[in-house]
């Protein structure tokens, strides 16, 4: 009897040790801060369905996303660029969403819209006072993303001929752009339209609202794709996760949280 109990104990212990030795599979995403909060929510949903995998999401900007995918620091890079640079040519790119870039001001600002030319002149420093575009007599505080940001690169690519004014306030994420504009009545910045909230106000550009409807209709022009970048072919856990994002559930999550589906 004692011998049977001892053998049973050894068997149970072996099974427990074998289970403990089996670690979770893991994925790391890095890059676009515009897509980061959406990727985090998608990762949480995916892990709830697949408890045997751990998905970590990090920011850093689109340049970091490309570098991380190339170096292997992350299995998946995130980039929100109108055109991918040469550094991404060797990566497998998958469009998982589309995103509008909103021109935003403080809600206290009475301006409701700008033309593309006015936006260009403000960020270049040619227009420096709100009274020159129909606002109050107050200096304009320009807020921009850092070099290497996908949002900045896309903004400059679409608006065209941007030579950012030297005294612009530089922020390292869409979130800090939002907080800066929310706390400065005379500021103007740009960020993902999926991150607009009551703290800021999105302006019309060329009489078009930065809305899901206007973007889908092709009327609002400041739009860029969201890429997931992988070194090599899509396979294994990487493919499963990207397939989930492209599934009906994943795309509905993207749409519900303010971005546009990939198709």
Of residues 261 and 93, more confidence is placed in 93
Q: How far is 34 from 78, CA to CA, in rounded Å?
A: 9
pLDDT confidence of residue 184: 98
Q: Which domains does the chain have, with CATH numbers?
A: 25-98+225-261 (3.40.190.10), 100-216 (3.40.190.10)
51-63 tens-digit pLDDT: 999 999 999 999 9
High-pLDDT (> 70) share of the chain, %: 91
High-pLDDT (> 90) share of the chain, %: 81
Q: How far is 119 from 234, CA to CA, in rounded Å?
A: 40
Against a cut of 0.85, is the pTM above it? no
138-172 tens-digit pLDDT: 999 999 999 989 999 999 999 999 999 999 999 99
110-138 tens-digit pLDDT: 999 999 999 999 999 999 999 999 999 99
216-250 tens-digit pLDDT: 888 999 999 999 999 999 999 999 999 999 999 99
Confidence label for 8 from pLDDT (cuts 50, 70 and 90): very low
What pairs with residue 77 in β-bridges?
Answer: 30, 229
What average pLDDT does this structure show over 201-211?
96
Confidence label for 22 from pLDDT (cuts 50, 70 and 90): low
Q: Spell out where the chain has E strands.
A: 25-31, 53-60, 76-79, 91-105, 113-114, 141-145, 169-171, 187-192, 201-202, 204-205, 223-231, 260-261
pLDDT confidence of residue 12: 36
Mean pLDDT of all residues belonging to the chain: 91
């Amino acid at each position: 009897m004692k011998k049977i109990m001892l053998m049973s104990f050894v068997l149970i212990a072996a099974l427990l040790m074998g289970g403990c030795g089996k670690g979770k599979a893991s994925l790391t995403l890095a890059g676009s801060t515009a897509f980061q909060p959406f990727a985090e929510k998608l990762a949480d949903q995916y892990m709830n369905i697949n408890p045997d995998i751990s998905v970590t999401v990090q920011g850093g900007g689109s340049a970091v996303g490309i570098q991380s995918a190339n170096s292997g620091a992350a299995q998946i890079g995130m980039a929100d660029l109108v055109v991918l640079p040469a550094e991404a040519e060797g990566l497998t790119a998958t469009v998982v969403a589309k995103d509008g870039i909103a021109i935003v001001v403080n809600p206290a600002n009475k301006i409701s819209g700008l033309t593309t030319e006015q936006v260009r002149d403000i960020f270049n420093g040619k227009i420096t006072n709100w009274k020159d575009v129909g606002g109050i007599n107050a200096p304009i505080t320009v807020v921009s993303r850092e070099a290497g940001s996908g949002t900045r690169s896309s903004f400059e690519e679409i608006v065209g001929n941007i030579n950012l004014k030297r005294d612009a306030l530089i922020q390292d994420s869409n979130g800090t752009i939002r907080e800066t504009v929310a706390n400065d009545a005379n500021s103007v910045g740009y960020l993902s339209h999926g991150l607009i909230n009551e703290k800021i106000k999105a302006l019309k550009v060329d009489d078009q609202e930065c809305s899901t409807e206007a973007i889908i209709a092709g009327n609002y022009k400041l739009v860029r794709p969201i890429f997931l970048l992988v070194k090599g072919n899509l396979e294994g856990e990487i493919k499963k996760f990207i397939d989930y994002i492209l599934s009906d559930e994943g795309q509905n999550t993207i749409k519900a949280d303010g971005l546009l589906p990939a198709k």
